[in-house]
Each structure stands twice: as structure tokens, then as C-alpha cells.
């Protein structure tokens, strides 16, 4: 969320940024919010005049009463009472205008970083770098749920009866592999100096609107009926929310945390091969990382964070690449974002497994996350987040890239980094 004074002083820049994001329908919001803010300031100025006059007249009334000039004092009381009604109306108007200004502020997108490529949607994202060789096995790789079924590792039919589409049971070695990946990711991030955290899995609406746009909220969040609570779509939401209305001493920055949580999302499957299986589901588990830092350090942390995901995936023998999200593919709060995509030998293409985002001070402004500087002044922190791993997508990439076939039987190799989390197993053999 942009500061209202910044919007008023940089209206052309804000409009140009909206055009870069191909959200022209939001252009009228800039002039509208500037006009409403002007009305609010005028109402506030008049209200302050009335308050000052009330204080001045109140003193005069006291003096008149002390001098026994009761009649004059009563006349002045009438003036104060008349102005009190006007002041009340102005205060109500101020509150109403403040709500309208804030509502529009939250719809105007953040200013994207100058380095972000201009593009309409994700089809115009730009590849940055590839890591690892693309595997092209000499045997046909089965669909990922078929691989899991070879190891008695998944039951979607039973899950459909219990919870409907978009859910699954993981079983046996596949379930253990799922947990092993999360445990390895947890320890990987702890070794990077991050503090491990298990957050609340539900958050209040004040936190929801603090961490995401209204459009994202409607598309993602499940609301708890009869409660001011939402199921989290990612632990980033409750992790950033942990610092709502906080003031952190500058010397305590950066705050680096890694969190585990289940995640709940409304999303439906995409078209084509991703429409079935477990690419897009309503419930999954995830290891996340967040950073709260000084503004001048946020881009350094941004580059560190996506590189951690690359390092982790490569340690599990999974080829990946990084894509820079173009302006049209950035959510409104984001300043810059990279997707980390894993190679799919089955599809012979990359697919998204991690998303690293720098949100500047947008979330901090909404949630009141401030820093107490060494000079005694307070300023807004910058917030960043990135996926460490998110099974089942990560599990799909792992199985496809570590699958082997000897002509009779399938097996899955367990990379050295993961073996301690699999009880020392070096390979899984199909039934």
C-alpha cells in the first residue's frame, strides 16, 4: 500500500506504474483518492479550528463567570454548543473519508522495481538462469500419481469420498518421503540462520487484508463461518502478521524466520496435464521463509532467498531455473518477484515450485510494522517471503527426477542429503 502523501505528490508516477501492470481500470482511483484526501484534510483543518476556538472560548467563559458576568458567559456557551454540533458532523465526515481513502489506497498497486520487465501476464516472464542438466530418460515416465500408486503411496478415491475433489491420502514410503522433504527443508533453513516457527493456522481479517490484496483474498482464502477467522493459504500470512503493530529496534534486524504449516486454498486445477493429479489442491503442507529488514537491505535478502531454494532443490538432484515475473504477473503488493521452477522429465518443461517476493514496505504500512532507527526516528520495515518447499509439487519434481526403470521394475533413488530423514534408505522399490 502506497502512502497517501506519496500518491498526491507523485500522481503521474503512480498512474504510469498502473499502466505498466496493465491495470488501466484502476487509473481513475488515483484522482479519486487524491480528491477524497483533499476533502478529509479540509474537514480536519476546519475541525481543528473549531477545537481551538472551543478551548479559547472556554477560558473566556471561565473568566466571565469569575467576574460575575454570567449573562455574557451564557451567550458564549450558546456559541460553543452550536459549534459542537458542527464539530461532531466534521469528525464523522473525517472518519467516513478516512475509510474511503484507505479502501482505495489498498487497491492501488505498489510501485514495481525499475528492473522488473514490462509484460501483460506470466507468458511474458523472463528466464534468468538455469541450474542443472535437464534429464531426458530413455524410458517413458508415468504420470506422478501413477508413480505414487506403484509404491502404494496415494489414495485419491477414498479422499474424494471423505472430502471431495482436491484432496488425497498419502501412504507408506511416499508419505514418509513427503515428511522427509519437509524435515530436511526445515533443517536446511535453520542451518542458514533462520529461526524455526510453527504459526497459527488461522488469522483474523485485519491480518488477511494486511498481507494481500482483496482480489487474492477472494480467490484463495477459506473463511470460518461465524468467526472473524480465515484458514491460511500460506504460513507467510501468519508469520508477517506476528509483527502487526510492532516496533523493532534497528539493531535487531534482520528478522529471519522459517515456518511449517498446512495450507488451505480454494484454487481449482489448471487446464491440460495439471488439471488432474495433485498439482493444484485445496490442502497441502509447506516450509516457508520470511525476512523483515531495513529497506536498503531488502534486495540483498531477495537474492539470498531465491538462491536458497535453488541450492535446496539442487541438493536433491532436481534441475531448476529462475524466472523473473513481469509487471503484469506481479500481485499488487509486490515490488519484485522470482519464480523457481523445477524440471519435469515427464512433461519436458519446467513448472513452478517456489515463489520469492519482495513487498517493499507495503505489508509493513498496512500492518504497522515499524523500526526504531539508531537516530531515534521510526520508519517502516521491508518484508520478503519465499517458499522453501511445498509438497506435493516438490514431491512431483522429486519423484520424476529420481525415478529409475530397469526394464521390469521402477525405483526411486534417495539423494544423500535426504537419506538421514528416510531412515538411511538409499532407494525405494515399486511393488
CATH number, domain of 12, equals 1.10.287.40
Residues 217, 205 contacting (CB under 8 angstroms)? no
Does any domain span residue 246? Answer: yes
Domain containing 45 equals 4-105
Top pLDDT among 179 and 89 is at 179
113 domain residue, yes or no: no
Q: Please tell me whether the peptide bond between 337 and the residue prior to it is cis, using omega within 30 degrees of 0.
A: no
Rounded CA-CA distance 307/340 in Å is 9
Report the pLDDT averaged over residues 259-280. Answer: 70
Final residue before a domain boundary, out of 72, 105, 138: 105
Could you tell me the CA-to-CA distances from 282 to 154, 164, 239, 278, 392 in Å, in that order? 16, 10, 20, 10, 11
Final residue of a structural domain among 105, 135, 160:
105
Q: Say if strands 126-131 and 154-155 run parallel, antiparallel, or are unpaired.
A: unpaired
Instruction: Kindly state whether residue 117 falls inside one of the protein's structural domains.
Output: no
Q: What is the model's pLDDT at position 243?
A: 97
Lowest mean pLDDT among 130-144, 195-209, 213-227, 231-245: 213-227
Greater confidence (296 vs 52) lies with 296
- In a domain? residue 115: no
User: How far, in Å, CA of 373 to CA of 186, rounded?
Assistant: 32
pLDDT at 280 over 90: no
230 and 195 both lie in a single domain: yes
Mean pLDDT confidence for 332-350: 96
pLDDT computed for residue 230 by the predictor = 94
What is the total count of domains within the chain?
A: 2
The pLDDT of 2-9, averaged and rounded, is 96
Identify the pLDDT of residue 260: 96
Local structure of residue 360 (DSSP, 8 states):
T
Q: What is the pLDDT of residues 353-411, one digit of tens each?
A: 999 999 999 999 999 999 999 999 999 999 999 999 998 899 999 999 999 999 999 99
Q: Among 45, 71, 105, where does a domain finish?
A: 105
112 lies in some domain: no
Global model pTM greater than 0.75: yes
Q: What is the pLDDT of residue 269?
A: 42
**Residues facing 228 on adjacent strands:** none
Grid coordinates standing for 284?
A: 497441502
Report the pLDDT value the prediction gives residue 276, as an integer from 0 to 100: 62
Percent of the chain with pLDDT over 90: 81
pLDDT digits (tens, 9 = 90+) for 170-211: 999 999 999 999 999 999 999 999 999 999 999 999 999 999
Work out the average pLDDT over 332-359.
96
Asked if 83 and 228 sit in the same domain, the reply is no
Residue 401 neighbours by CB under 8 Å, 6+ apart: 135, 317, 318, 319, 342, 343, 345
Maximum Cα–Cα distance across the chain: 111
Rounded distance between C-alpha atoms, residue 269 and residue 278, angstroms: 9
Characterize 13-26 residue by residue with b for buried, 16 or more Cβ atoms within 10 angstroms of its Cβ, and e for exposed: ebbebbebbebeeb
CATH of the domain at 338: 3.30.930.10
Amino acid at each position: 500500500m502506497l502512502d497517501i502523501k506519496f500518491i498526491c505528490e507523485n500522481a503521474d508516477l503512480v498512474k504510469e506504474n498502473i499502466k505498466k501492470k496493465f491495470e488501466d481500470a484502476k487509473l481513475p482511483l488515483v484522482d479519486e483518492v487524491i480528491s477524497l484526501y483533499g476533502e478529509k484534510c479540509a474537514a480536519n483543518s476546519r475541525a481543528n479550528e473549531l477545537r481551538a476556538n472551543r478551548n479559547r472560548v472556554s477560558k473566556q467563559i471561565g473568566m466571565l463567570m469569575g467576574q460575575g458576568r454570567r449573562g455574557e458567559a451564557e451567550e458564549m456557551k450558546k456559541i460553543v454548543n452550536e459549534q459542537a454540533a458542527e464539530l461532531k458532523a466534521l469528525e464523522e465526515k473525517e472518519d467516513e473519508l478516512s475509510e474511503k481513502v484507505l479502501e482505495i489506497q489498498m487497491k492501488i498497486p505498489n510501485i514495481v522495481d525499475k528492473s522488473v520487465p514490462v509484460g501483460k501476464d506470466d507468458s511474458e516472464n523472463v528466464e534468468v538462469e538455469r541450474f542443472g542438466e535437464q534429464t531426458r530418460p530413455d524410458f517413458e515416465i508415468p504420470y506422478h500419481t501413477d508413480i505414487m500408486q506403484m509404491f502404494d503411496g496415494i489414495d485419491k478415491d477414498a479422499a474424494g469420498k471423505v472430502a471431495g475433489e482436491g484432496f488425497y491420502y498419502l501412504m507408506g514410503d511416499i508419505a514418509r518421503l513427503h515428511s522427509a522433504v519437509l524435515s530436511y527443508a526445515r533443517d536446511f533453513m535453520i542451518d542458514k540462520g533462520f529461526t524455526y516457527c510453527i504459526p497459527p493456522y488461522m488469522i483474523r481479517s485485519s491480518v488477511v487484508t494486511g498481507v494481500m490484496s482483496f482480489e487474492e483474498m477472494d480467490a484463495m482464502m477459506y473463511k470460518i463461518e461465524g468467526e472473524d477467522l480465515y484458514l491460511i493459504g500460506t504460513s507467510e500470512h501468519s508469520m508477517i502478521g506476528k509483527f502487526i503493530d510492532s516496533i523493532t529496534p534497528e539493531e535487531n534486524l534482520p528478522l529471519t524466520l522459517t515456518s511449517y504449516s498446512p495450507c488451505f486454498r480454494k484454487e481449482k486445477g489448471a487446464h491440460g496435464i495439471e488439471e488432474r493429479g495433485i498439482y493444484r489442491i485445496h490442502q497441502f503442507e509447506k516450509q516457508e521463509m520470511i525476512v523483515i529488514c531495513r529497506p536498503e537491505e531488502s534486495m540483498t535478502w531477495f537474492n539470498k532467498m531465491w538462491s536458497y531454494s535453488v541450492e535446496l532443490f539442487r541438493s536433491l538432484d532436481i534441475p531448476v531455473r529462475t524466472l523473473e515475473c513481469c509487471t503484469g504477473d506481479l500481485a499488487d503488493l509486490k515490488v519484485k518477484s522470482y519464480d523457481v521452477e523445477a524440471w519435469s522429465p515427464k512433461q519436458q518443461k519446467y513448472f513452478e515450485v517456489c515463489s520469492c517476493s519482495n513487498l517493499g514496505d507495503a505489508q509493513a504500512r498496512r500492518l504497522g510494522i515499524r523500526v526504531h532507527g539508531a537516530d531515534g526516528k521510526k520508519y517502516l520495515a521491508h518484508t520478503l517471503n519465499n517458499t522453501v518447499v511445498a509438497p506435493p509439487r516438490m514431491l512431483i519434481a522429486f519423484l520424476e527426477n529420481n525415478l529409475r526403470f530397469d526394464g521390469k521394475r521402477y525405483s526411486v533413488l534417495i539423494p544423500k542429503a535426504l537419506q538421514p530423514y528416510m531412515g538411511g534408505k538409499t532407494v525405494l522399490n515399486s511393488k
